[in-house]
Amino acid sequence: MNNFQFVNPTKIIFGKDEIVKLTKEIPSGSKVLLIYGGGSIKKFGLLDKVKNTLKEYNLGEFGGIEPNPTYETLMKAVDFIRKEKYDFLLAIGGGSVIDGTKFIAAAVPFTNDDPWKLIVEQLPIKNALPFGTVLTLPATGSEMNNGAVVTRKAINAKLPFRNPALFPKFSILDPVYTYTLPKKQIANGVVDAFIHVMEQYMTYPVAGMVQDRFAEGLLLTLIEEGPKALETPEDYNVRANIMWAATLALNGLIGSGVPQDWSTHMIGHEITALYGLDHAQTLAIVFPSMLKIMQKDKAEKILQYSDRIWNIPKNISDADRIALAITKTQDFFETMGVKTRFSDYGLGQEVIEKIVAGLKAHNMVKLGERGAVTPEVAGKVLALSL
Amino acid sequence: MNNFQFVNPTKIIFGKDEIVKLTKEIPSGSKVLLIYGGGSIKKFGLLDKVKNTLKEYNLGEFGGIEPNPTYETLMKAVDFIRKEKYDFLLAIGGGSVIDGTKFIAAAVPFTNDDPWKLIVEQLPIKNALPFGTVLTLPATGSEMNNGAVVTRKAINAKLPFRNPALFPKFSILDPVYTYTLPKKQIANGVVDAFIHVMEQYMTYPVAGMVQDRFAEGLLLTLIEEGPKALETPEDYNVRANIMWAATLALNGLIGSGVPQDWSTHMIGHEITALYGLDHAQTLAIVFPSMLKIMQKDKAEKILQYSDRIWNIPKNISDADRIALAITKTQDFFETMGVKTRFSDYGLGQEVIEKIVAGLKAHNMVKLGERGAVTPEVAGKVLALSL
């Protein structure tokens, strides 16, 4: 097992009707900005519920955070907060709203220079506005980690950053708020969480037995519950299990002490920046081909996965076990309704060169757990996904 | 799944030679009291290593915290700290030293009354001295939770308490420090961690799929690695897996959102208070009989456990699957060298009445996930363990 540090101070408040706890978590007297995305939280009454719960506070609103939140939009929030002097942020939404709120929280006190440098130069973040979250979409794990991904439209860049100052103070996870999600969003969330686990699991063995077992537990839960979430959207326990699995998929725990990959994510970010595909769609396109191309490097873990997750019998050849495990993975994404080929999205051969160029431009040239996914290798992966 | 809150701010610093990080974690200028147990950390050089690492700090020492730390000893430390005005505590040892340090941390600022009331009256703890830990014995999980158990010899009481103010600021987990543990201690630690998991897992199903999978992952790890730890004490990965499993067994995660039992622990505490048996020995005596007596209440989870942990075939009767799972559990404790009957420790029939009286005296009269373990039921459990 590798040496590691693990700390995660975010308080999780999980379950039906727990939104009433908001007033215990936000310091009284705070000037609170409610940050959200499109209109769905208005349509289904959640925004009203939050405002009613927080009626004793001085409240403001900033809506319109888009999927793949943009620097351009977020800086408008930053200006607004600086002017109106909000001192607590409450993100209400999914990973995009929460990621955006993290950038805002770090950018508001960073007045000396362009906050974009916090990302591209990974500048230290000395202080950030405190913030909490009300999660409506299980997927990214942003509700219990200190990372975020922000897009700068003007330069087609979608880049990740993380900082110890950017853990939410608390996150409220009520599975009921996910009942009204469109099927596509819950499907995307399940695939996103699944691949978050895989990025930390599907590398090479370092005898991290607990980490492997936990990762496998999350994968099995997503495989069992994912299709049910599409069929019976108002099954509380199904939604609860997916929500908790998605949070634990990326709160730092299963990745502690083990190698991590993340090449699929970095390539996926380029695809979204260039063609606007949903994050999960890009992962579903890239990941099965990544496994095929990198199968020698990952053989031991793919075999473990084929056994423990898919019960593939051990009496066939290793090559067959690996091929079958990859097929079953791809089939799972398709079962969730998330297509796995560029052609499904009307894209073809022409994408490869542009994506590879994007990787080079963002210095994503040695990806994966061994740094073996060069732009050339990425090109081969993409070619397998046409 | 049940509603829950989960928060755990302890920073884990895990791995070989990580002790050098101590100076990053303890505020410079602190007056630090090193708290430890018997002489083993002197004998094997760990105390010197800590003192050398912290040579820039104003250091003091308080040794002699006993297994099952006593109020009587801990109050001596409290008086010493109040007099010498230490402002940071560093526990170096296993669960007893860490539990004792938690009581000390809470008691030092509680000057108005007898700190024993913090335990028996569960008084709120408004502030506590900050403390960190250097773990030498994987077992109790105290290094990453806010609970402790303290014994008051004068009245034969061993009682638990917990408080949000009592999370360690950090814990350093270096598996190498466990190489020199006597076999009995590592065996006890594995059994203790195993039963910590069981107290949170072996109840009734509430569709906590992730919690179940995580609990099962810890059990499988302890079953696979436990015997190896006895055979090859200096296998780093074996020790690392046991250490991380024992921490995660009781850091609050696997018990979030699911019912919990803890009747075996409460009965075990009485046995230790009366007869001085090691904590793990008491658990190994009580737990298999508890499963036998409560098997109807716990049937669904025992069947799941028999399948997922012991691979017991499903084509035999449920009664046989349950019986076999219990036998295998008891056999595992015996394989670890921890005996499972009172007679193995020279105790007989006479213990039952006294233990039952102890439970009544400490108001432990409705134990277990459904409150069904009355003193009468406890008596039946004990009678099965003679």
The answer to whether position B173 is within a domain reads yes
State which H helix or E strand residue B326 sits in: helix B318-335
Q: Mean pLDDT over residues B311-321, rounded?
A: 97
Q: Is A1 on the interface with B (CB under 8 A)?
A: yes
Which residues numbered 232-271 in A keep a CB inside 8 Å of some CB on B?
A: 236-237, 240-241, 244-245, 248, 253, 256-257
Whether residue B223 is found in the same domain as residue B117: no
* Inter-chain Cβ pairs, chain A and chain B, closer than 8 A: 124
The two tokens of residue B140 are: 């109790």
- Residues A96, A191, single domain; the answer is no
Q: Is residue B380 pLDDT above 90, yes or no?
A: yes
Residue B261 and residue B196 share a domain? yes
Angle between helices B236-249 and A209-231 (to 10 degrees): 50
Put simply, whether B5 touches A (Cβ < 8 Å) is: yes
Shared-domain flag, residues A91 and A215? no
Per the prediction, chain A carries an average pLDDT of: 96
Domains: count for chain B: 2
The band of A24, judged by pLDDT with boundaries at 50, 70 and 90, is: very high
Of B4, B209, B216, nearest to A225 by CB-CB distance is: B209
The verdict on a CB contact (< 8 Å) between A15 and B8 is: no
pLDDT tens digits, A265-308 = 999 999 999 999 999 999 999 999 999 999 999 999 999 999 99
| Chain B contact for A6 (CB, 8 A cutoff) | yes
User: Considering only alpha carbons, which residue of chain A is nearest residue B17?
Assistant: A3
Strand partners for A102: none
State which residue of chain B sits closest to A225, comparing Cα positions: B209
| Boundary of a domain, candidates A157, A177, A197 | A177
* Residue A2 within a domain: no
- Burial (CB < 10 A; 0-12, 13-18, 19+), residue B182, is exposed
Here the CATH number for the domain that contains residue B288 is 1.20.1090.10
Domain that holds residue A148: 11-177
In a domain, A257, yes or no: yes
Together in a domain, A310 and A262: yes
In this complex, do B248 and A15 lie within 8 Å of one another by their Cβ atoms?
no
Shared domain for A224 and A131, answered yes or no, is no
> Of the candidates A225, A237, A257, which has its C-beta nearest B14's C-beta?
A257
Q: Do B237 and A15 touch (CB under 8 A)?
A: no
pLDDT class of A43 with cuts at 50, 70, 90:
confident
Contact across the interface for A14 and B8, Cβ inside 8 Å:
no
User: Are A59 and A173 part of one and the same domain?
Assistant: yes
* A219 interface with B at CB cutoff 8 Å: no
Q: b/e per residue, A154-178, with b = 16+ CB within 10 A?
A: eeebbbebbbebbbbbbbbbbbbbb
pLDDT category of residue A3 using cuts at 50, 70 and 90:
very high
**Which residues partner with A93 through β-bridges?**
A135
Mean pLDDT of chain B: 96
Domain finish residue from B177, B192, B209: B177
Within a domain: residue B2?
no
Question: Does a structural domain hold residue B5?
Answer: no
Q: What is the 3-state secondary structure (H, E, C) of B169-212?
A: CEEEECHHHHCCCCHHHHHHHHHHHHHHHHHHHCCCCCCCHHHH
Predicted TM-score (pTM) of the model is 0.97
pLDDT at B122 over 90: no
Contact B1 A207 (CB under 8 A): no
A116 pLDDT higher than 90: yes
Identify whether residues B117 and B190 lie together within a single domain: no
Dist. CA A48–CA A140, nearest whole Å: 25
Contact A216 B220 (CB under 8 A): no
Same domain as B289, residue B166: no
Residues of chain A contacting B258 with CB distance shorter than 8 Å: none
For residues A345-370, give the mean pLDDT. 97
- End position of a domain, from candidates A149, A177, A205: A177
